[in-house]
Chain A
């Protein structure tokens, strides 16, 4: 079969898999991951001496340590194939379908990396900003929400974009836990037409397109969040 026929036959199902799995998996996991990241970062910068907060800090530290220190594919396998083995009086505690297992694992993994990004961005905002806000009579929560986090968002945008782009490509690992996402579909066509070079190049191109869209999005977001700083590098 000629190249053009293979492309026209395999491209529509690949695009369908992209719209149905790759994109939603990425968007949902990144959104949840970002929420986890901000919460985890806030726990880690907390100066509270309460035993509850101290314990929470320990838990968050442990979570980040585990998820940054083990391979994502292994995490997916543990959550999808491993966790259903945990049983209480014969009934599994976690019975997750592939989709939920994917979302949970990708969110937690992204959250672990992004929490370090957010924590670093918060610490990069100079102390006088806190002081000026406190001096207006704000509480710690208000200072964070209104003064520190908006500025930290700008600082964390480039590294968060890295995480986002990584996540798009990492969703290909979901093929390992039976999700028929874009890469899984390309594998099927590679076997069907005996042309792995073409099928895998095609899917690589599609990932590249997705990443490029995110690249452009990043450029616009950076422009918008940097509207208040003079960033010219020309001297």
Chain B
């Protein structure tokens, strides 16, 4: 169980998080949605300490951190060891081959043998349909291929929770689908997933829980069915704004 309580983060420009309390159930897929600049990405990055909140309580299994105190490097590493993240911009390591990108963490952080790490990497690459790309550099691949490799890089670390920060926002629809399929596979295997997305159809299809963030506050968290079928007027306006109807323009 991963739980954030009374999180505050002030970027000093009106953006940030204001007294956010939210939990992300294990073995479920939690989808964070909300308008641009609402704080969804900040919330997700806070889980992995890529953003450090000003205050709040962080509870993750046996880890209990008071975020108003500075965290030690060991505390941050202990949390990151149980987490993996996929970024909007893929962020593969350009100087490493696809295979080395995937085995970098397992070999040098988890101390797996090179042989085991590479065997697992090949197995995972096959699963996402990129078995023939092990020895190319990321720069030679399409965005959709790079993002699938970024997912494999994360899965190879065997994290307890998988975080996705708008994983398909930089992709055109065709490439988006190939990435979404991979995420859906992971969701079906009952992994613990937290995903930020703009794709409402995908959110609807994959979510066990919806978190709606607006202006740095949680406006809704719970059952996706209620969210999509009995929305409050504000949620309805948000959902409607995301659908394009030429007759209304």
Contact = CB atoms under 8 A, between A and B. Distances in A.
Nearest to B50: A131
Contacts of B166: none
A229 B110 CA distance: 29
B198 interface: no
A228 B87 contact: no
B139 A137 contact: no
Interface string A133-156: 111111100100011001100100
Contacts of A201: none
B95 interface: yes
B81 A229 contact: no
B237 to A, nearest CB: 33
Contacts of A133: 93
Given A137-B80, A138-B108, A150 B95 contact: yes
A124 to B, nearest CB: 13
B48 interface: yes
Given A142-B108, A146-B104, A230-B139, A135 B95 contact: no
B95 A136 contact: no
Chain B's interface size range is 20 to 34
Contacts of B89: 128
A154 B137 CA distance: 15
Interface in A105-149: 128-129, 131-139, 142, 146-147
A144 to B, nearest CB: 13
A146 B108 contact: yes
Nearest to A231: B139
A128 B109 contact: no
B160 to A, nearest CB: 12
Q: Which of A129, A131, A133, A135 has the most CB of B within 10 A?
A: A135
Contacts of A129: 91, 93
Given A136-B109, A146-B104, A151 B95 contact: yes
B157 interface: yes
B93 A132 contact: yes
A47 to B, nearest CB: 13
Given A150-B95, A230-B139, A138 B87 contact: no
B95 A132 contact: no
Contact of A135 (B84, B92, B94, B140): B84
Given A131-B50, A229-B139, A139 B73 contact: yes
Closest 9 CB pairs of A and B: A136-B105, A132-B91, A228-B137, A128-B91, A137-B109, A135-B85, A137-B80, A137-B81, A150-B95
Interface of B: 48, 50, 73, 77, 80-81, 83-85, 87, 89, 91-96, 104-105, 108-110, 137-140, 153, 157
Interface of A: 128-129, 131-139, 142, 146-147, 150-151, 154, 227-230
22 contacts: A128-B89, A131-B50, A131-B91, A132-B87, A132-B91, A134-B50, A136-B109, A136-B157, A137-B80, A137-B105, A137-B109, A137-B157, A138-B105, A138-B109, A139-B73, A142-B109, A147-B93, A151-B93, A227-B137, A228-B94, A228-B137, A229-B139
